[in-house]
Amino acid sequence: MPREPPVMADESLDVATGAGHARLLALTLVVVLAGTSLLAAFFGERSPVSFWLLVLLLVGPLAAPLPGLLRGNRRTFAWATLCLTPHFLYALTEAVANPAIRPLAAAMLGLSLGLAVTLVAYLRLTRKRAAD
């Protein structure tokens, strides 16, 4: 007779722990992506005006959801995925067109995709608790 897998006594603890890890990873990835964006802007742009414009367009959207991410607000995690679009587009363009910062562009692509996956993972892990 096949055995049934053991049922955990408190599955909500595992969900909360997983959601906490996803939230911490998301915040870490936001900081690392902002740093990588600053490096890419520094090494990729020649004029000070284009540098500051690029910093504003890349770091600004990352700073907007930070208060809600720190509080663990589910709605912020949902719309924060939209803030990754400038990074993804810039990194993809620079990876193809600018060999000088291709490694940074590849890092930005990986970080932005990883952050998107982490944000969605947090939403999925906290979905059951929000429905209760």
Summarize pLDDT for 76-131 with one digit per residue, the tens: 999 999 999 999 999 999 999 989 899 999 999 999 999 999 999 999 999 875 55
Report d(CA 44, CA 99) in Å as an integer.
Answer: 10
Crossing angle between the packed helical segments 11-44 and 48-63, to the nearest 10 degrees: 170
pLDDT tens by residue, 23-57: 999 999 999 999 999 998 888 877 888 889 998 99
| 18 touches 132 (CB < 8 A) | no
13 or 63: which leads in pLDDT: 63
Nearest to 81 by CA among 29, 37, 44: 29
Residue written as token pair 């932005």: 112
pTM to 2 decimals? 0.81
